Chains A and B, each alone.
Chain A
Amino acid sequence: MGREKGMSCRTAWGVAFALGVGLAAPAESATVYVSNEKDNSITIIDTETDTVIDTVPVGQRPRGLIMSADNTQLYICASDDNRVEVMDVETRKIIHYLPSGPDPELFVLHPDGRTLFIANEDDNMVTIVDVEDRTVIDEIPVGVEPEGMGLSKDGKVLVNTSETTNMAHFIDTETLEIFDNVLVDTRPRVALFSADGSQVWVSAEVGGTVRVLDAETRELIKKIDFEISGVNDEAIQPVGIGLTRDGKYAFVALGPANRVAVIDARKLEVVKYLLVGQRVWQLAFTPDEKKLYATNGVSSDVSVIDVEKLKVIKSIPAGRFPWGIVVKP
């Protein structure tokens, strides 16, 4: 009872916070943006209170989300509108659109803060956009249904995965040439460089695996399989990946298995499965990496994971089919 009361106080505080002083948030507070794929909206969550502070309508079928380099703008892949929408995070209004090529799904921003690499799921292309000039610079033909987009820290190597071709394409971002194609497991969804840049992690939704590749040689370091008692193998569909900066943990969202796998990132072994909402999809850490947020598409909520305790501490209702997620410091 006391706990419930405490929660509601915090909720009230959260609302007051949002209404009054939200724009002058203290440094430690971060903001989570969640794209609701079937609701055409963005749910905004405050990480201090873990409550929803706003829901903002956006374009059709919003999926991938990232922040601008200066964290003042939110880039939104509006897949069914075939464009990237740019939201001013202060006013929470869409201020302009960026061209994206058809059906943008996931994207990454080059460290130059200007060059955006967008996977066009419908078009077998990676489109490169200048976010200042708002123009398409170039296109790179890749495999069928490109999706996952991982960029090395120095911005030199882009890894794109294609879901039907089942490859990770390694692209030189200076020459825009593919210099290697690595066959991975069926329906690869996400590619992510480790914080030290030495590894590339690739999840395969239908293959049910995560492959850890050596970023330099592109050789396989390890293929990680998942096994959950009481859950059919066919329900284990790895999608979102989160890697801690200290190289200690990897988190993998397992889709309809309704679990986030915790992996010892040094031993590359699964240590735990955390029960979250239904069809867990994408993951994002708070800047201090104390909390991890996971979007649950079918149950329309966001799970909050305590990274130190490896426990799910809260579920926050979002819109219909939460998909993408990003945290603004």
Chain B
Amino acid sequence: MTRFLAAVCVLLVAGAVLASPSVWREATAGEPEERAGQNREPAGQGAERKGETRSPTAKSDVGTVNIAILLQEMAQPVALKELDVFYTDVGVQGARLGVEDNNTTGRFTNQAFELREVTVPIGGDTVAAFKELVADGSQHIITIRLPADDILRLADLPEAKDVMIYNASAQDDRLRNDDCRANVVHLIPSRAMLADALAQYLVKKRWKRWFLVIGNEAEDPLYAEAIRRAAKRFGGKIVEERAWEYSTADVRRTAQAEIPIFTQGVKHQILIVADEVGWFGDYLIYRTWDPRPVAGTQGLMPTAWHHTHERWGSVQMQKRFRRIAGRPMTTIDYAAWIAVRAIGEGATRTNSVEFGKIKDYMLGPEFRVAAFKGVGVSFRSWNQQLRMRILLAEPKSVVSVSPQVGFLHPVSEMDTLGYDAPETACEFE
């Protein structure tokens, strides 16, 4: 079994005894008894305190939360851009930063966070790797690059009963609807959320005539379906749908000749492309018959994170990430970072490292994590999808952020993106 685990490494950055403080509490009125006996020496006795709090006694009080990250290796897509960097550590770097952040806080709460990283090679046995992690005591397991079916396979294992799976990469809407599971939370936006975010902006711009171009990969029809749903919800009109016909051709040298013909004769305002792998989407830009912009998986892209996102304090997040990873932060890194921070927030607020307490708090109404989106992110109770603002980005700038002003919702405007409570097909057992 272990031969499938290409790399198992344990990062322990406990640091619980690095700093002086051993005292913490929440500033809420009405629980004075909890605070009795806590550090209340008058100022000036700090030297003594220093000795005390750095003593080994403090160390033994440290509670530890194990977080695991399970990465399924994938082949670099043979897309058109060999020059693009393909990161093999997506998500892992985000989780590492999250653990570092949690441990900084943990110094004040006597909590330590430990990250176990497991990479399963292509064709490897994710089920075996998962079981091994659970047997080893992991209950919070982040999954990266695991397809929807694999996530379900893990979630339905008897071993997964007291486990929470943090899906940080699968965008499938079925995982948030018919195939939802009580032991799976989704940190990455679903395709419906992305499509809705784009649709709101286009409707607001009054660019309502959409030309949908669909790629040949298995995920592309799912993206297209989300776009159709968004058109219906927000009043866009898909005036034409075309399947990408050059399924086996490499259009690198022929795009200028082929794409005008392929896009000819459609009275549209914007072309929306569904090409998740990136076979051809970039080659539509500037080559359409009519001078029209491109959006979707290329061009103007809805996304949870972008390397040019700089609002709401995110500049320093981008910098912190680059410092540890040596590369820009990806959406999957962002999702994995939130997963770890959510666990950390649960541990801090409940003053506990217990799985059940953290989970209940995380899924409860009080939970919020500041995730550089201006408003806190939290989980939708009906399908355990993280609600968040979605960026609309082009390669060098963030063009807009959805939900757009004016799309109203009685509870949270962020719930105008994706499947809302009345629409959900998710039923937890």
Report chain A residues within 8 Å CB of B264.
Answer: none
* B101→A164 contact, CB < 8 A: yes
A211 within 8 A of B: yes
How far is the CB of A40 from the nearest CB of chain B, in Å?
14
Q: In the docked arrangement, what's the CA distance between A213 and B39, Å?
A: 17
How far is the CB of B356 from the nearest CB of chain A, in Å?
21
Please report A residues at the B interface, Cβ cutoff 8 Å.
103, 121-122, 124, 141, 143-145, 156-157, 162-169, 172, 174-184, 186-187, 205-207, 211, 213, 218-222, 232, 234, 237, 256
Q: In the docked arrangement, what's the CA distance between A167 and B29, Å?
A: 16
Residue from B27, B319, B368 in contact with A213 in the complex, judged by beta carbons closer than 8 Å: B27
Tell whether A181 pairs with B43 under 8 Å between CB atoms, given A144-B101, A206-B368, A206-B376. no
Report chain A residues within 8 Å CB of B21.
Answer: 169, 177-181
Residue from A179, A206, A213 in contact with B41 in the complex, judged by beta carbons closer than 8 Å: A179
Q: In the docked arrangement, what's the CA distance between A179 and B46, Å?
A: 8
B77 within 8 A of A: no
Question: Which of B4-51 touch A at CB < 8 Å?
Answer: 18-21, 23-29, 32, 35, 39, 41, 43-44, 46-47, 49-50
How far is the CB of B237 from the nearest CB of chain A, in Å?
29
Report chain B residues within 8 Å CB of A213.
Answer: 27
Q: In the docked arrangement, what's the CA distance between A164 and B349, Å?
A: 13
Report chain B residues within 8 Å CB of A205.
Answer: 370
* B316→A166 contact, CB < 8 A: no
Majority secondary structure of chain A interface residues (helix, strand, loop or mixed): loop
Q: In the docked arrangement, what's the CA distance between A186 and B371, Å?
A: 10
A157, A206, A237, A256: residue with the most chain B Cβ atoms closer than 10 Å:
A206
Report chain B residues within 8 Å CB of A164.
Answer: 101, 105, 341, 370
In the complex, per-residue mask of B355-379: 1 if CB is within 8 Å of any chain A CB, else 0: 0000000000000111000111000
Residue from B24, B27, B320, B375 in contact with A220 in the complex, judged by beta carbons closer than 8 Å: B27
* B49→A237 contact, CB < 8 A: no
* A183→B25 contact, CB < 8 A: yes
The 6 closest A-B pairs by CB, nearest first: A175-B46, A183-B26, A181-B24, A165-B105, A220-B27, A187-B370
Question: Which of B382-424 touch A at CB < 8 Å?
Answer: 412-414
* B104→A234 contact, CB < 8 A: no
* A174→B108 contact, CB < 8 A: no
Tell whether A186 pairs with B29 under 8 Å between CB atoms, given A163-B370, A175-B50, A180-B39. no
* B316→A122 contact, CB < 8 A: yes
Report chain A residues within 8 Å CB of B29.
Answer: 219-222
Q: In the docked arrangement, what's the CA distance between A304 and B24, Å?
A: 39
B268 within 8 A of A: no
How far is the CB of A275 from the nearest CB of chain B, in Å?
17
Q: In the docked arrangement, what's the CA distance between A144 and B376, Å?
A: 16
In the complex, per-residue mask of B91-129: 1 if CB is within 8 Å of any chain A CB, else 0: 000000000010011011100000000000000000000
Q: Which residue of B lies closest to A177 (CB)?
A: B46
